[in-house]
Amino acid sequence: MTKLNWGMIGGGEGSQIGPAHRLGALADGRFALAAGALDHRPEEGRAYAQRLGIAEDRAYGDWTEMLAGEKGRDDRIDLVTVATPNATHFEITKAFLEAGFNVLCEKPMTLTVEEGEEIVRVARKAGRICAVNYCYSAYPMVRQARAMVRAGELGRVRLVVTNFSHGHHGDAGDADNPRVRWRYDPKMAGVSGQFADCGIHALHMASFVCDDEVERLSADFASTIPSRELEDDAMVNFRLAGGTVGRLWTSSVAIGRQHGFDIQIFGETGGLRWMSEQPNQLLYTPVGGRTQIIEKGEAGLHAEAQRLSRVSIAHPEGFPLAVANIYCDLADAISGEARDGLPDAEAGVRSMAAVHQAVASARDNGAWVDARPPMFR
């Protein structure tokens, strides 16, 4: 199999998410790291790219140089990952799509709903893939949960409850640390803090597993550390289009919780629970029965969960392999094989609309609002 050429923007040395992308993209031999503009400091970015094995002429100082350089090549990159800070996602993603490149953009895809809708339109017009890195949706046991819901194994889903709550910004004495402070400063982070950062993963997960879209929501936002302008805790009630009741709690001051992402799905004939810190197990309870543990890699899983299980049963698979599943689906999609679970720009703009509408709801004492972007109303 010929490897696809992959490029990366952001994710430089010491970044949080860069290593997960490199481990994920390169895990299956489907991509080769061919180009990069990895750092906001051009010289550091060029040097690091070369240390990662990128040829000197494709170790770019910034993304505009990379766009110009890659456009003219016969062996141009087949996919570019945008893993820069949020405020830059829109212009970089748009420019690469318009030039005919496929893009994997980090979440949140944009800062505004209008920008998100523009990305959907540009991707459609260019006929290129624009995926968004909702990587938790690519864990095998999350795909198993979705397949069970789709197959009617829980009956109609009455209720979905999801949390993404950690305690890593719970120390008021550390609130002025520049690496923490920007997240709650609207000039740097946009209209929302914790909900836009972590809550949208949970909201996407609820919609993904239930295979239904978020239609309405009501939000309560709190800045529990008073110096913070944006929320560090949020409770969001929502409804999916098919009537499923949704509850979401997201927090960064929940001291004692580490990653803190889990989801429970309650149907008429059974319930499911998945926790990101034990990602290889899915708990299933049939109505009136005992709780069972469904293990990644066991016999009898749905095909989608089986396809994305890499190593044999009981060997842990973690976050970088969930990211690798996104890259596998992208490699298939680029090669013309449609992949149903790949989170796309439409999912990206739905999240942005939910963020902005949650902010409006919270300012209006939790009034129920339409959560959908105007283009999907």
Binding interface with ligand NAI (CB under 6 A): 9-12, 15-18, 37-40, 62-63, 83-86, 88, 106-107, 133, 135
Residue nearest to ligand NAI (CB): 12
Residue 242: CB minimum distance to ligand NAI, A: 27
Our CB check for ligand NAI shows the closer of 207 and 244 to be: 207
> Minimum Å distance from CB 104 to ligand NAI?
10
List the beta strands (DSSP E) in 59-213: 79-83, 102-105, 130-132, 157-165
Cα 354 from Cα 218, distance rounded (Å): 10
Q: Return the number of the residue (86 or 251) whose C-beta is nearest ligand NAI.
A: 86
Nearer to ligand NAI, 84 or 280 (CB): 84
For residue 347, the minimal CB distance to ligand NAI (Å) is: 12
CA distance 245 to 67: 44
* 330-335: long-range pairs with CB below 8 Å, 24+: 330/79, 330/102, 330/104, 330/129, 330/131, 331/4, 331/28, 331/30, 331/31, 333/129, 333/131, 334/4, 334/78, 334/79, 334/102, 334/129, 335/4
Q: Which is nearer to ligand NAI, 31 or 134 (CB)?
A: 134
CB nearer ligand NAI, residue 270 or residue 350: 350
- Quick check: helix, strand or coil at residue 292? strand
Q: Which is nearer to ligand NAI, 7 or 18 (CB)?
A: 18
Strand, helix or coil for residue 180: helix
**For 173, phi and psi rounded to 5 degrees?**
-70, -15
Residues 6 or more apart from 364 whose CB is under 8 A from it? none
User: Nearer to ligand NAI by C-beta: 102 or 133?
Assistant: 133
What distance in Å separates the CA atoms of residue 207 and residue 214, rounded to the nearest whole number? 6
CA separation for the pair 223, 229 (Å, rounded):
7
Helix 200-210 / helix 345-363 crossing angle, nearest 10 deg: 120
Least separation in angstroms between CB 269 and ligand NAI? 32
CB of 359 to ligand NAI, least distance (A): 17
Smallest gap from residue 276 Cβ to ligand NAI (A): 10
Q: How many CB atoms lie within 10 A of CB 194?
A: 27
Which DSSP symbol is given to 195?
I
User: C-beta of 22: minimal distance to ligand NAI in Å?
Assistant: 12
